[in-house]
Copies of this chain bind each other. A is one copy, B any other.
Amino acid sequence: MIKPGIPKGTRDFGPVVVRKRNYIFQTIRETFELFGFQPLETPAMENLSTLTGKYGEEGDKLMFKVLNNGEIYPAAHEAKDNKALVAAITEKALRYDLTIPFARYVVMNQHELALPFKRYQMQPVWRADKPQKGRYREFYQCDADVVGSNSLLNEVELLLIYDTVFTKLGLKGYELRINNRKILAGLAEVIGKPELLTDITISIDKLDKIGAAGVRKELEERGLASEDINTIERFLAIDGSSTEKLSQLKELLQSSATALKGIEELSFVINAGYADFNTTPIIDVTLARGLNYYTGLIVEVKAPATVKMGSIGGGGRYDDLTGLFGLPGISGVGISFGVDRIYDVLEELQLFPQTAQQSTKVLFLNLGEDSARKAFDYMMQLRKNGVAAELFHENAKMDKQMKYADKRGIPYVIILGESELQENTLSIKNLVNRQQEKIEAAALLQFTF
């Protein structure tokens, strides 16, 4: 008999963890709903034709492909190489993210949907990445996107969703960093090297890690002239309040219409007065993220510096979300919550409320048939009143039953011994402060557990 295990990079979630995760999901879901977003669920398996080529070569490699059912030997036998073999024996793969299935859904349902369509989706995705600390092969994504609207009100709304969720979760000291892809594109235009946009942003994205000198060195290696690098350094030196940053950007990049458009968009989001943020968004001109996606806003949520967790969310605007599936010209903007990291952050900062950790409130001890019958009645009354309650399954030694309550973290034990049965009372023991009191049976539903 082999010892049972689970595939590497996957996890079982036991009761305590599921409850805490559900607290996070529930907080996010509630907020999505308050903001008028609607739930969508797509299948775990998608056709390979839907997924292939959408996530780059790396993505095609890391996708979990599902073997065709039935006889595969003949088809496999004829294949001349790995690629042909895989193509011959698979036609489905596991969901790799939530964005491509969403785009596919929008295209398939374009005639029924009321646009703009604001959807949220919270489902697992699978990637054959090398498992390591904080990186799993099965993990939940938790996305909200709007398609079919170019209005910057959506950007404001999505930032407010972050603000609302993290406020509800009690998280303080996190940062909501924003940028605009058009500003980065404008910078490349201003130094006359639009074709080097990707190189430039990859380098400046590393400012935090390698410092200004490191960035300079990298840019030199990527073939940028010294005066271009000077411009980039002036760009990186932009500082001050949001208003100051915006005006410095305007001055430095005034020759690029693209940049000015980006600055205007950022300015709207920051200054619209549409919204009071608990945590004001910070302009971060180095913020790039998966640059090739984004065409407007770029946003990233950084965990409080004290927990060293990095990004706990991000998103942005991407034009032409559905063009891949034959429906061009539909713009999208969305955000994502990194639930696994948020979990770790809340755990480290001890921000999970008691209610997120609670299960059964009351254990009735089983002291034999007469007592158990009576206890069962009381238990059903409590349950009808919304109090989670259990009766120990057998008339075991008191000690064993108390141990069960302890191990399960049940805070109250109710005892219906002979005297209680005679007096029509109940003894309630609080296992937290170890105090015991006797109440009239009729007062049970008024008791605060």
Q: In the complex this chain forms, how many copies of it are found?
A: 2
Return the chain B residue nearest A69 by Cβ.
Answer: B128
Q: Are A39 and B18 in contact (CB under 8 A)?
A: yes
Q: Which B residues are in CB contact (< 8 Å) with A126?
A: 44-45
Q: Which B residues are in CB contact (< 8 Å) with A194?
A: none
Return the chain B residue nearest A405 by Cβ.
Answer: B114
Return the chain B residue nearest A61 by Cβ.
Answer: B69
Q: Are A104 and B4 in contact (CB under 8 A)?
A: yes
Q: Are B45 and A7 in contact (CB under 8 A)?
A: yes
Question: CA separation between A286 and B226, bound complex, in Å?
Answer: 88
Mask: chain A, 178-216; 1 = CB below 8 Å from B; 0 = not:
000000000000000000000000000000000000000
A390 at the interface (CB under 8 A from B): yes
Question: CA separation between A49 and B154, bound complex, in Å?
Answer: 48
Return the chain B residue nearest A64 by Cβ.
Answer: B66
Return the chain B residue nearest A385 by Cβ.
Answer: B34
Q: Are A360 and B4 in contact (CB under 8 A)?
A: no
Question: CA separation between A138 and B2, bound complex, in Å?
Answer: 29
Given contact pairs A18-B41, A275-B376, A36 touches B360 in the complex (Cβ within 8 A): yes
Return the chain B residue nearest A146 by Cβ.
Answer: B393
Question: CA separation between A22 and B71, bound complex, in Å?
Answer: 38
Q: Which B residues are in CB contact (< 8 Å) with A373?
A: 272-274
Main secondary structure of the interface of A (DSSP, over half): mixed
Q: How far is the CB of A379 from chain B (nearest CB, A)?
A: 9
Given contact pairs A5-B47, A119-B15, A66 touches B66 in the complex (Cβ within 8 A): yes
A237 at the interface (CB under 8 A from B): no
Among the listed stretches A82-90, A295-303, A343-351, A429-437, which one makes contact with chain B, having 4 or more residues with CB under 8 Å of it? A82-90
A386 at the interface (CB under 8 A from B): yes
Question: CA separation between A49 and B85, bound complex, in Å?
Answer: 24
Q: Which B residues are in CB contact (< 8 Å) with A42?
A: 6, 12-13
| Contact for A33 among B325, B388, B408, CB less than 8 A | B388
Q: Which B residues are in CB contact (< 8 Å) with A153?
A: 372, 376, 391, 393-394
Q: How far is the CB of A70 from chain B (nearest CB, A)?
A: 8
Q: Are B67 and A39 in contact (CB under 8 A)?
A: no
A422 at the interface (CB under 8 A from B): no
Q: Which of A120-145 contact B (CB under 8 A)?
A: 124, 126, 128, 138
* 4 nearest A-B pairs in the assembled complex, by CB-CB distance: A10-B43, A36-B390, A15-B38, A114-B407
A residues at B contact (CB < 8 Å): 1-7, 10-15, 18-19, 22, 33-36, 38-47, 49-50, 61-62, 64-67, 69, 71-73, 76, 79, 81-82, 85-86, 89-92, 94, 104-105, 107-109, 114, 116, 118-119, 124, 126, 128, 138, 146, 149, 151, 153-154, 160, 164, 272-276, 325-326, 359-360, 372-373, 376, 380, 383, 386-391, 393-394, 404, 407-408
